[in-house]
Structure 1
Amino acid sequence: MTKRATDPAGKDEQLAQTRLRQFVGYEMKMAYLLIQQDMLRILKPTGLRIVTFSALGIVVENPDISQTQLAQALQIERSGVVVIVDELENADLISRNKVEGDRRSYALRATLKGRNLWSRTEKRVHEHEDGILSALSGAERETLKLLLGRIIEDNRNR
C-alpha cells in the first residue's frame, strides 16, 4: 500500500515502500488497518467496538464463561475485561450471574438482546469480509485463514 505525498510544488507522488513491503508483518499490518477501518464503520451503528463485538461473540458461544476465561480468550489482562463486561452489561447485552460456591466469580451469559444483536451483526461482518476480501477466491480465503491459524497455533505453543 503506498500513500500519496504532496511535494513542495503541490504535485502528488507515490512513496516507495519496497523495503517495508518485503516483510510479512508489514503487509499484515497494512491489511489489518484496512480491515479495522471498515470494521469500525460496520460496527458503529450497533454501538459495539471491535473488542466488545469479540467479547459478545465469545459469551454467546460459551454461556456461563467466567471473566477470567473471557480475558484469556481475548488475550487481555483480567482487569481490562472488567471494563468490557461492564459496557456489555450496561447495554443489557450480557448478564453477570453469581457462581454457586464461589463468591468472587461471575458466570457471563448473553441476554436475548445480546444474542439478537450478535446475529444481526455477525451477518454484517460476513458481508464486510466478503467485500474486503473480494480479490480472493473462496479457496484462497480458506487458505489464508488456515495459514494464519497455523502461525497462531505454532507461536501459542512456544
Structure 2
Amino acid sequence: MIKSNDSAIGELNDIVGFHIRLAHGAVYRHFAETFANLELTQKQVSVLWLVGENPAISQIELGQRLRMDRATTMTIVNRLQDRDYLRRERSETDGRKQALYLTDVGADALAKAKLAIHEHEEWLKSRFTSEEIEKLVEMLARIHD
C-alpha cells in the first residue's frame, strides 16, 4: 500500500498513476506561480534553454530533442520569434533548414527564467534527500524513456 496523507481517497490510494497526477499538479501549480511574472510556459523555457545551449540548432532537431511534434515546435518558435526572443537564419550547413538563435531579449528572458527555475527546483528538492532525488529521477526516467 502506498502511504498518503489523505485516507479519504480509499482504493485510489493504491493507484500509482493517481499519485503521479497529484504530484504533477502540485509541481505544475508551483511552476506557474513562480513563472507568473515572466509570461513563459514550461515548453517555451525549454526551447529558449536548448537554443541558448545549442546556437544554430534546427527547428526539427529542437522538436526531436524536446519530444514535441512539428506543429507544436513551430507554434512555440513562432511565438518566441514574435516576442523577439528567437531569430531564424538559414543554416550554414544545410540551406533547407532554419537555424535558431537567441536574441539579446531572449537571452535576458532565459536568464530570468533560469533564476525562477532555480527557485522552483529548490522548493521541489527541499522535500527529498540528495539520494532520494537521484533515485526519483532514475525512477521517473523509466516511465518517460
Classify the TM-score, shorter chain. 0.7 to 0.9
C-alpha distance in 1 between matches for 2:53 and 2:140 = 22
| 8 A contact 2:7–2:13 mirrored in 1 | no
1:88 partner letter: L
Which entry has the higher C-alpha Rg, 1 or 2?
1
Task: Give CA-to-partner distance per residue, 1:115-151, whole Å, 9 cap, x none.
Answer: 2321221122121121133221222112211222244
Say yes or no: does 1:112 pair with 2:101. Answer: no
Residue 40 of structure 1 corresponds to which residue in structure 2? Answer: 32
Residue 28 of structure 1 corresponds to which residue in structure 2? Answer: 20
TM-score normalized by structure 2? Answer: 0.84
Q: Pick from 134, 137, 140: which aligns with 1:142?
A: 134
Q: How many angstroms does 1:24 deviate by?
A: 2.2
- Sort the Cα spacing of 1:18 and 1:129 in 2 relative to 1 into closer, same or farther, 3 A: farther
Q: How many angstroms does 1:89 deviate by?
A: 1.0
More strand by share: 1
1:111 partner letter: T
C-alpha distance in 2 between matches for 1:18 and 1:108 = 50
Corresponding residue SS for 1:45: coil
Question: What stretches of structure 1 move > 6 A for 4+ residues in a row?
Answer: none
Q: How many angstroms does 1:101 deviate by?
A: 6.6
1:1-158 mapped onto 2 (5 Å cutoff)? 16-100=8-92, 102-153=94-145
- Which of 47-56 and 130-139 deviates more? 130-139
C-alpha distance in 2 between matches for 1:32 and 1:109 = 31
Corresponding residue SS for 2:97: strand
| 8 A contact 2:56–2:100 mirrored in 1 | yes
Structure 1 stretches of 5 or more lacking a match?
3-13, 154-158
C-alpha distance in 1 between matches for 2:131 and 2:7 = 33
Corresponding residue SS for 2:81: helix
Q: Percent identity?
A: 30
1:117 partner letter: A
| 8 A contact 2:57–2:100 mirrored in 1 | yes
C-alpha distance in 1 between matches for 2:20 and 2:53 = 27
